[in-house]
Amino acid sequence: MNVSVIGTGYVGLVSGVCFSELGHHVHCVDQDKAKVKQLQNGKVPIYEPNLEELMKKNMGEGRLCFTEHLSVGISKADAIIIAVGTPANEDGSANLTFIQQVAKEIGEHIRPGMVIITKSTVPVGTNKQIKQWIAEICGHELFSIASCPEFLREGSAINDTLHMERAVFGVEDAHAEQILRELHASLNTSIVVTNLETAETAKYAANAFLATKISFINEVANVCEKVGADVSALAKVMGLDPRIGPSFLQAGAGYGGSCFPKDTQAFIRVGKQAGYDMQIIPAVEKVNKQQRGHLFNKVKMALGESLNKKQVAILGLAFKPNTDDMRAAPALDLVESLQKEKIEVIAFDPVASEQAKHHLPELKLANSWQEAVIGADAVLILTDWDEFKEMNLIKLRELMHQPVVVDGRNLFEPKEMEGAGFYYDPVGRQKVDGRLKALKKWENFSLDVHSSAH
């Protein structure tokens, strides 16, 4: 098939590359000229494992190309995939400016029989609105629309797409369904065919449910801290029940990223507009916000009375590992809160430094975790990168001014940290303070040395 993908962000680029890998001919279109140039030169502007290699392979085999001109992109297309951003408006509703702009541009170039597929996450009713926007420009309705929401996860996006667990085809007619089936023909996946409204709502419901799991376990974690329970063991117990399942039960800094925060907000607005006042999702959001404050309080408590001129090293800026995406990342709020208290913040992330320069231009960035922690009064871990799990604890303690770690991702066992001489405050597990023991060990050692010298 000939496919045109509009928008080459995380979703559009991965979809374009993967559909070309499946044998389709794909034109990717983006209005960002610099990005298109970079892509034409075989460079991926985002961090996504294996994406660049697969992109170059398919460009080399002549199935994938990039353009800034929508007319070129869609001239031969059987299907047009819309994958532009739908950020949040001030009031939390989805901003459809990019979608509307694309629909109008499609209207200028559309041919009868084309299928317009929306992968962007959009509120219920948007696909019908897209049809109207296009028809207003082209003057007919001899085309089909479809909602095919995207479920990939940044960091494992290629695998998620080439081995997708399910595909939702929200359609109005058989032609759109047939084109979607052809597009996905070589994928072994469960397909659910629905109307447009169900497909649009399914994406919001799925994200809202995952966000709920995260806020739920964080709320439980906060109780655990107060009653002497351990959330990691507790989550294991819960997760062994197949009705619950083990994933998304890791207590921590809360959710961030380009999807959950804006999609939960937009879902609340979808309900409101339909005359239904949701109760659960607003609570999920509230808990998520509070969790960041909870971590901030942990840092404050660890630093003691005076915060002025104290130095905190933040390890991890991306909202999760294996991505450079910092949109709505917990780090954004925590850096701001710490800096407000005049605490000096230095941060390190294995891949998100470039993004950090845009999001937090004032933030001091280090080139390694070792550099970030030099002279620090506390380390705050915000992303569960493997590199941080594998840190040499002796080296860490040596480099820091005070051996204090607040762990927003529960990377270490409290006992291990206590043994290594740290004050260690994880989430939903009991805080330990090994500083005194380390000091005693050292005193005994110097006493031994002293007495053997006599």
In angstroms, the CA 115 to CA 110 distance is 9
Does 399 help bind ligand NAD (rule: CB under 6 A)?
no
Give the Cβ contact number of residue 349 at 10 Å: 28
Q: List the one residue from 18, 28, 29, 224 that touches ligand NAD (CB under 6 A).
A: 29
Give the Cβ contact number of residue 387 at 10 Å: 16
In angstroms, the CA 262 to CA 204 distance is 10
Give the Cβ contact number of residue 238 at 10 Å: 17
Does 6 help bind ligand NAD (rule: CB under 6 A)?
yes
Q: Are 200 and 149 in contact (CB under 8 A)?
A: yes
Q: Quote the crossing angle between the two packed helices 126-138 and 97-109, to the nearest 10°.
A: 40
Beta carbon nearer to ligand NAD, 84 or 312: 84
Q: In a 3-state reduction of DSSP, which class is residue 421?
A: coil
* Residues forming the active site: 259
Give the Cβ contact number of residue 331 at 10 Å: 30
Q: Are 109 and 71 in contact (CB under 8 A)?
A: yes
Q: Which of 188, 192, 185, 190 is nearest to 24 (CA)?
A: 185
Binding mask 151-190 for ligand NAD (x = CB under 6 A): -x-x------------------------------------
**Environment class of residue 68 by beta-carbon count within 10 Å: exposed (0-12), middle (13-18) or buried (19+)?**
middle
Binding mask 67-106 for ligand NAD (x = CB under 6 A): ----------------xxxx-----------x--xx----
Does 16 help bind ligand NAD (rule: CB under 6 A)?
no
The Cα angle at residue 175 between residues 174 and 181, in degrees rounded to 5: 85
Distances (CA, A) of 207 to 264, 265, 429: 7, 11, 27
Q: Are 162 and 24 in contact (CB under 8 A)?
A: no
Beta carbon nearer to ligand NAD, 33 or 243: 33
Beta carbon nearer to ligand NAD, 67 or 339: 67
Q: List the one residue from 3, 4, 5, 11 that touches ligand NAD (CB under 6 A).
A: 11
Minimal CB distance to ligand NAD: which residue? 9
Does 328 help bind ligand NAD (rule: CB under 6 A)?
no
Binding mask 31-60 for ligand NAD (x = CB under 6 A): xx--x-------------------------
Backbone angles phi, psi at 435, to 5 degrees: -65, -40
Q: List the one residue from 120, 147, 291, 322 that touches ligand NAD (CB under 6 A).
A: 120
Beta carbon nearer to ligand NAD, 31 or 178: 31
Binding mask 268-307 for ligand NAD (x = CB under 6 A): ----------------------------------------
Does 384 help bind ligand NAD (rule: CB under 6 A)?
no
Taking the complex as a whole, the smallest distance from the CB of residue 140 to ligand NAD amounts, in Å, to: 22
Does 8 help bind ligand NAD (rule: CB under 6 A)?
yes
Residues 242-271 that bind ligand NAD (CB under 6 A): 258-259
Taking the complex as a whole, the smallest distance from the CB of residue 183 to ligand NAD amounts, in Å, to: 17
In angstroms, the CA 64 to CA 12 distance is 13
Query: By rule CB under 6 A, what count of residues binds ligand NAD?
Result: 27
Q: Which stretch binds ligand NAD (CB under 6 A): 29-37, 289-297, 303-311, 362-370?
A: 29-37
Residue for token pair 């992330």: 349
Beta carbon nearer to ligand NAD, 21 or 150: 150
Does 10 help bind ligand NAD (rule: CB under 6 A)?
yes
Q: Hey, what amino acid is at 386?
A: D
Q: In a 3-state reduction of DSSP, which class is residue 168?
A: strand
Q: Are 228 and 430 in contact (CB under 8 A)?
A: yes
Beta carbon nearer to ligand NAD, 134 or 427: 134
Taking the complex as a whole, the smallest distance from the CB of residue 154 to ligand NAD amounts, in Å, to: 5
Does 396 help bind ligand NAD (rule: CB under 6 A)?
no
Q: What element of type H or E holds 311?
A: strand 311-315
Binding site for ligand NAD (CB under 6 A): 6-12, 29-32, 35, 83-86, 98, 101-102, 119-121, 150, 152, 154, 258-259
